[in-house]
Structure 1
Amino acid sequence: MKAARVLIIEPVLKHYRLSFYEQLHETLLKEGISLRVAYGDLTPGSSVANNTVLDPRIGFQVKNRWFCKRLLYQAVWPEVKEADLVIVDQALKHLNNHFLVLLSRLGLKKVAYWGHGRNRQSKEGSLAEWFKSKTLARVDWWFAYSEGTADYLLSRKVPKEIITNVQNAVDTSRFSREVEGISEKEKARLLSDLSLPKEAIVGLYCGSLYDNKRIDFLIETAVLLKKKLPSFFLLVIGDGPKENNGGPVTSQRPLIEEAARRHSWIRYLGPKFGQEKAAYFALAQAFLHPGAVGLAILDSFAAGLPFFTTDIPLHGPEIEYLRNQENGLLLPDDAGAFSEGVLEALLDEERRSKLHLGARAAGKNLTLDKMVDNFKNGVLSCLGGIA
């Protein structure tokens, strides 16, 4: 009896998914299931900084064909034909999805969606979101990013028995060890390199620099914090988007570069990775993230840093990992109120210690191992007698 075959189709392969696919491949093999991942090449002019490639035994690259810069077609049909289950990102702009949903409805192919269920950053009531809601239950299975995604799917009449909550995560175990491994001597040397005093209270932002991340708000609140807390310094890690296939985005890198020129206590460090990135996290006392929350919250918790954000409707499902007053703070969408909330937490040593402990506990719970196990169980349930 031949092994069941699972095909996952991605527009591109992000660095943060590499460990997930490698681990899922090994886990499914033990269950007699073969995993293949199809992922697209980069559009000319796109950034390669956040993308990678898989071992050929697990994945293969296909040509991305973009129409009107917004609609994506990938030639993966020979692999689709051989697969017992095809898993795709729930995205209207991916033309293949519409054909796959039709195959699912006709009973010719098992097809699963993997995603948020909705675009939280899209206008409510938009035609795209309306259409997306109408197709939610037209696949064989759902791999929901989070419990909140699963609840949303249930509210839209998707049967509970075809929903798997994967608890979206990335491999932060190595990053956590790297942060814990930074010695006091290394911290002191880094403070010196940055021309920061030993008593510096460091706020950190690490992530993309585009409009929904609200870097302008971050700068405004940092200025207010500095006025009340002279020992405060802000470190910013990340880069602006260089790829624009998903729609119009605006880089806010020029904003932070200008702020760093104007304010000697703001350091823009550019993109950082691995041990170097871990060292900056080890210096910080708080992760400040006033804009749309995504996977960055996992890095924050892996490093034991309390996570501070605003109560806005732009967040991804990962905002559910924030437990207000336990591992971070969900603060009003007002620069004054946000800076005051951060200030109070930073100055109250007992409260700050509690938030640190909560962040570290969350980091130990939100693991890639759990996500892989959840995903495997969903695959097994979907395949049923095939596996």
Structure 2
Amino acid sequence: MKRVSYIFPTSHHYRLPFHERLRELLAARGVDYTVIYCDPGEENVKKRDTVDIAWGQKVSCSRLPGGLVYQHGLRAALKCDLVIVQQENNLALNYLLNLASMVGVRQVAYFGHGRNFQSRAPNGSAERWKRFWATKVDWWFGYTNETRRHVEALGFSSERITVFNNAVDTSGVRALINAVTPARLVARRNELNIEGEHVGVFVGGLYADKRLAFLVDAADRIRARVRDFTLIVAGGGDQLPLMEELAATRPWIKVLGPRFGADKVELMLLAQLFLMPGLVGLGVVDAGAARLPTVTTAFPYHSPEIAYVENDVNGVIVNDWEDPQAYAEAVIELLKNPARLAEMRAAAERMAQDLTVESMSDRFAEGVFQALGV
């Protein structure tokens, strides 16, 4: 039996369905799959977005000089035919495995973006270092076609790149959506004291690149023109206190902290738009499953999933990313144009139907089989 391990620092809640399905797909072809991870860091503890995997292996992590983190998984990795690691400069174990790949001792694959989409110095030393090591592996698992283009440009063979189209468990989200009754939504509206029909929702991590002060500035402008506008904010992170402070004098902004599962789905179903003026990531897929168009901006530091937002089709990308008035106008225009909003909601739903954890797992599994030659 071939053995594959995926080594990563933190086991995120949203990734569990992917790992579970991938394990089943690989086992069906005689490949044993395991995950190796560490206890979550302080920031993830705050977000409450991690989960233990019963069949996985938890190892200790050591903090090294220079911000490096060493995951104590080398012995387990060397017992595998293929080792998959996250493409991050600070993961010291990666370099040992890179060397093992370069001398032909072990097959190693990267799982990642290809570059740091949030880097403020794309030609700085950190990105040059990442580009150097990007080609020192046997296989690539890339988030989107943007990753493929970047890695190919570095000279890596396209035949050894699998694009899996990063997704979340939209089937599970749809099942939760279908279980929500109109009476339940009425109860949630009453619980949150939402009186009007115009609601925007933000669901995600609360940190600097999400541009929360910008969001509230724009929300003030929306509220001035749409008098029943309500903003729901669900998420955790180091800027949760800031968000709570901003909402303290704005009772129409509901800051609820981290929410998951049916709780999160119900909050999204109360809204008509997904408001994310800062960094866009996987949340757009969840939003699409709930029939929510994403309204964002041309922020230069989006994650790869920005590729899923088609401007004026399943969402809006406001070109002037530094102007809260321009962002507010885009939201107001949609809220006051039910026909256009309905078209966008349908398009957002179609987008999410194409981006599922099942199709992601299928593509990933096929890449593993190709890498192993089985």
TM range (shorter): over 0.9
Per-residue displacement from partner, 1:80-105 (whole Å, max 9, x unpaired)? 22100110000110001111111111
In structure 2, what is the equivalent of residue 347 of structure 1? 336
Deviation at 1:69, TM superposition (A): 7.6
Q: Distance in 2 between matches of 1:180 and 1:330?
A: 29
Deviation at 1:341, TM superposition (A): 0.8
RMSD of the alignment, in Å?
A: 1.4
Per-residue displacement from partner, 1:144-193 (whole Å, max 9, x unpaired)? 01111111111222111110001111112122222233222222222222
Structure 1 residue ranges without an equivalent (≥5):
241-250
What pairs up with 1:161-180 in 2 under 5 angstroms? Answer: 161-180=159-178
After superposing the two structures, state which structure 1 stretch, 298-307 or 188-197, moved more: 188-197
In structure 2, what is the equivalent of residue 308 of structure 1? 295
Match of 1:63 among 60, 65, 77: 60
Distance 1:45 1:371, change over 3 A: closer
What pairs up with 1:1-16 in 2 under 5 angstroms? Answer: 3-16=1-14
Q: Distance in 2 between matches of 1:51 and 1:69?
A: 26
In structure 1, what is the equivalent of residue 52 of structure 2? 53
| SS, match of residue 358 in structure 2 | helix
Deviation at 1:339, TM superposition (A): 0.5
Deviation at 1:43, TM superposition (A): 4.3
What pairs up with 1:285-304 in 2 under 5 angstroms? Answer: 285-304=272-291
Q: Does 1:201 align with 2:190?
A: no
Match of 2:353 among 360, 364, 381: 364
Deviation at 1:54, TM superposition (A): 0.9
Q: Distance in 2 between matches of 1:194 and 1:81?
A: 53
In structure 2, what is the equivalent of residue 317 of structure 1? 304
Identity %: 36
Q: Distance in 2 between matches of 1:363 and 1:43?
A: 30
Q: Are 1:180 and 1:282, in contact at CA under 8 Å, matched by a contact in 2?
A: no
Q: Distance in 2 between matches of 1:215 and 1:18?
A: 28
After superposing the two structures, state which structure 1 stretch, 22-31 or 41-50, moved more: 41-50
| SS, match of residue 36 in structure 1 | strand
Q: Does 1:24 align with 2:9?
A: no
Q: How many residues align?
A: 370
Per-residue displacement from partner, 1:314-340 (whole Å, max 9, x unpaired)? 101011111111111111211010100
Distance 1:155 1:45, change over 3 A: closer
What pairs up with 1:98-117 in 2 under 5 angstroms? Answer: 98-117=95-114
Deviation at 1:77, TM superposition (A): 2.1
Q: Are 1:297 and 1:318, in contact at CA under 8 Å, matched by a contact in 2?
A: yes
| SS, match of residue 91 in structure 1 | coil
Q: Distance in 2 between matches of 1:337 and 1:343?
A: 10
Amino acid in structure 1 at the alignment position of 2:317: L
| SS, match of residue 107 in structure 1 | coil
- The two structures have a TM-score, normalised by structure 2, of 0.96
- The two structures have a TM-score, normalised by structure 1, of 0.93
Q: Distance in 2 between matches of 1:253 and 1:45?
A: 12
Q: Distance in 1 between matches of 2:177 and 2:66?
A: 40
Amino acid in structure 2 at the alignment position of 1:301: G
| SS, match of residue 230 in structure 2 | strand
Q: Are 1:10 and 1:88, in contact at CA under 8 Å, matched by a contact in 2?
A: yes
